[in-house]
Structure 1
Amino acid sequence: MRTERNLTRLDRVFARLDREPERPAGLDVPRMSRHRIVLFSATLAFYLAIVVAVLTTSWLVRFDWQVMFFRPYQQWPEIHAFLDYWVVLGQRGPTAVMVAAWLGWRSWRQHTIRPLLTFGAALLLLNVTVGAAKIGMGRLGPHYATTIGANEMWLGGDIFPSGHTANAVVTWGILAYMASTPRTRRYLSALSAVVSLSVGLTTVYLGTHWLSDVFLGWAAGLLVLLALPWVEPLLTRVEGWIFSLRDLWRDRRAAAGLPAPVTPVPAMSPQPAAPADEPQVREPVGAPRPARAPAYLAPGPHTPRSERSPVTPAGSRRPPHSERASRAATSPRPVAGG
């Protein structure tokens, strides 16, 4: 008797990934080239320059106050409603869900979990670096500033660098980082740059960040993207470890599997065995079986009810009554009004 194990949804996902265990040939993994190292060093120098300029209350802090007193949201109020929605492209929650859905589809099509692992590593680096800088420097925003012309540092704030700006750079830049072809990478890089620049300037327009916060947010997000090739070997090992755990889990499930229970079959009359040279035909599992007669019927041929001869009792089942004959002899009672 043949039985087949029903595959669960997780088994089907793993079977899909097993169709092509190796990465596609067109899936390029960025390397830490000399050009990328130069860009990383320049961005790091720019990051440190912004921090020093704010700490020393230089011309950049004075420019921050001039932009704040200009109040862009009052100069162009007609675009305020639109920019309230546009700034959502820099919020970590909604953007992470959208990008993770896209990268999950990429993982399904490319039979690898590297896109999701890379995105998770990028978000982890972003939260650690930007969060530590926010808490460490504790700068207050324009709406909570206390002293005109001051840098507002170490006062318990959390806006330096701009989290919206850094998150926009990393979230949309990871799409360009994971592109399969150089042409697609260029187009997505330009698109992510436009989105991150506009989101940063939107926070300045709304008055939630200083302009120097946005400068530092751009640098912080770009540093995370440029540092990702250093994390690629670790991601490769993590991916191999996850698949090894998957294989171990499947082996344990196969070893712990029990045979399907056998349904008892009622005894039947023995049938003559088929000749040795004649192939035996087995009944497939789940095939419909012929209907059997109910147990309460006696063995033998049975005719349907429509073909049976009617059986009428010899006499009436009702007891004799003296008035029955007189009622039958009389004519029926006329209908009232007839």
Structure 2
Amino acid sequence: MDLDAVRTFVAAADAGQFQDAAAALSITQQAVSKRIAALEKDLGVRLFHRTARGAQLTIDGQAFLPHAWELLRVEARADASVRPGQRALRVDVHSRRTAPGVLLQEFHRTHPRIELDVVTLDADVHGASAAVEAGTVDATFHAVTVPARRLPTGIRAARVIDEHHEILVGPRHALANVQSVTPTQLAEHRIWMPGMADGTEWAAYYDELAAAFGLTIDRVGPTFGYEVLLAEIADSAELATLAGERTRYLWPDSYDLRRIPVLDPAPVYPMSIIWRGDNPHPALVELRDFLGSRRADTSDEKVWLPTWAQHATA
């Protein structure tokens, strides 16, 4: 259906005169008549009675009017859904379970008037940055492992999340009843993180963490999802996995899984928000300010950071 004809019909119904509708739409009266006639032909009904006093809606015209208004509202929503500055702020997170997803939910609660479109691109930092550069998403969260000067032209990054780690074990594991554990103590235990792809920034992080403390991080085997991973850990006296302290997991009470902080030093996974410097979306600045205010202060803690963290923008 020709939406310009629908828009003209609504204007004519509101004005009661084709001439006034033409003025409101900045077109000629002849153009109004042609659009209305084409719409009537398309629908197979008369929408107006033409009289010397103007144009009055027929019964069919009255029936069509509320639907015509709805068509125009849908058009406006469709346009706003993709037009920068009008559509929802589109933000990529690698997983809705992890810290970026949790923080975005907090941002939504704090700023309910701001529309958010949270997507998962399932890409590493290079793929996600390319999506930001192309304008597919307004922002993404990743560890930035290169100096700021090596980011694509126009791409900006700011470190906004320092995620602490917890070890996740079942009730029969040797660490099940401790209050905290050090990275050195973890060297005695097998840490299972299947499906971690080589070449990703998170693989680089865990490789360096393992080398620093002599950890055994087992990446062998396919991944069948978090639910299967948790079930395997709950049933094992040997398996453990690492998770961010804000990562959201749900499991049956019968699993009796334990989340134990890793401290002294506390390994920290640094994540940045990545955006395009010329992005005009008004909500982007508010999101960045919010994230900056929520970043934990680790200056008084004994923490461990990967060597490339010094390259991340402040």
TM-score range, shorter chain: under 0.3
Give TM-score, length-normalised by structure 1.
Answer: 0.21
Larger radius of gyration: 1
Query: In proportion to residue count, which structure has more strand?
Result: 2
